[in-house]
Amino acid sequence: PGLDVVAKSKGKLYFGSATDNGELNDAPYAAILSDNKEFGQITPGNSMKWDATERSRGVFTFSGGDVIANFAAANGQLLRGHTCVWHSQLPGWVTAGNFNAADLTSIIETHTTTVVDHYKGQVYAWDVVNEAFNDDGTFRTSVFYTTLGSSYIATAFHAARAADPDAKLYINDYNIDGLGAKSTAMTNLVAQLKADGVPVDGIGIQGHLIVGAVPNNLQANFEQFAALGVEIAITELDIRLTLPVTPEKLAQQKADYQKVIAACAAVPACVGVTIWDWTDKYSWIPSVFSGQGAALPWDETFVKKPAYDGIVAGF
């Protein structure tokens, strides 16, 4: 029946996919992405990031993001906004670190306010802050942290709430799928933010995982997040393998997708799952993790892999 139909039948809000602007020129690709029985939600993989929206200070460009937002609207799909404040894909004028605390706070407020306001009413949820932590649970030493300490996180959330009071505001990270130091740090941060009155609504679990190495305590971790009174979502799921593909690896990948989906299905606070694109043709994995790939449920020729059935079975 389609992955979004299956997800909704189990009480979830959506099953979705990331996409990117260039890919939409691939007509067979766009045809499948527009099928809202498969994908009830989309996320722009790049075109709402800081380097795409405010490459020069105060000069905002929304052309790429608007194409994705319009695609979602035309196809009756929810939109996740990604992302306001992140250390990566950040223009040089920000990373250069030439700003004092007051100026950088103002820059974060202006960026977040302007981008969130532009898409006001069109976005289900925003990844307001992305990848604030190191894997050991300490704060990442980005230009934001170095200049402002962790206060930049509250600054961004307050600006986002003021700009679009109806959008769910998420903090998003990777390697917080299972229990561990980084998940504990996320739990502690969100508890503190809520105690401080910072408007955080959700924790985004990216879910960039490895075949045969998916943590066993996903559900316990999701429940720990949910106990904070926030919703959670799996926001960037892919499960990569070391190439070449074999039937054995694809069978393990199917089991791994099922395991992740089942953990979301078991926790009511988990509202939806987004895969980080749907076809291996456009996966980011091979370009970043040398020798790895085939991380998504459809292959490069748009044929469904065993992982697809794993997702269905997981719900």
Residue listed under structure tokens 């998940």: 183
Does residue 38 belong to the site contacting ligand XIL (CB under 6 A)?
A: no
284 belongs to the binding site for ligand XIL (CB under 6 A): yes
Q: From the CB of 49, what's the least distance to ligand XIL, in Å?
A: 7
Residue 44: CB minimum distance to ligand XIL, A? 9
Query: Do residues 59 and 93 make contact, with C-beta atoms less than 8 angstroms apart?
Result: no
Binding mask 66-105 vs ligand XIL (x if CB under 6 A, - otherwise)?
----------------------------------------
Residues 6+ apart with CB under 8 A from 137: 181, 182, 184, 185
Rounded CA gap, 144 and 156, in Å? 11
274 interacts with ligand XIL by CB under 6 A: no
First to last CA, the chain: 13
The residue among 169, 160, 207 whose CA lies nearest residue 190 is 169
Q: Catalytic pick from 54, 131, 231, 248? A: 131
Length of the chain measured in residues: 315
| Pairing status of strand 231-242 against strand 208-210 | parallel
Type of residue found at 79 = L
Quick check: 85 and 156 in contact, CB under 8 A?
A: yes
Decide if residue 45 touches ligand XIL (CB under 6 A).
Answer: yes
Q: At closest approach, how far in Å is the CB of 237 from ligand XIL?
A: 11
| Spatial distance between the Cα atoms of 290 and 281, rounded to a whole number of angstroms | 16
> Should residue 15 be labelled a site residue for ligand XIL when binding is judged by CB under 6 A?
no
Q: Which is nearer to ligand XIL, 137 or 286 (CB)?
A: 286
**Site track for ligand XIL across 202-221, x = CB under 6 A:** ----x---------------
Q: Which of 19, 21, 41, 46 binds ligand XIL (CB under 6 A)?
A: 46
Q: How far is CA 295 from CA 20, 110, 146, 173, 237, in A?
A: 17, 36, 34, 18, 9
- Report the residue number, 129 or 311, with the smaller CB distance to ligand XIL: 129
CB of 8 to ligand XIL, least distance (A): 25
Least Cβ distance, residue 14 to ligand XIL (angstroms): 18
Which 223-252 positions form the footprint of ligand XIL (CB under 6 A)?
A: 236
Residue 231 annotated in active site: no
Query: CA 77, 82, 88 angle in degrees (round to 5)?
Result: 155
Based on the residue annotation, tell me whether 223 is a catalytic residue of this protein: no
Tokens describing residue 47 = 């075109």
Q: Total binding residues for ligand XIL by CB under 6 A?
A: 6
- Residues interacting with ligand XIL, by CB under 6 A? 45-46, 130, 206, 236, 284
Residues designated catalytic: 131, 236
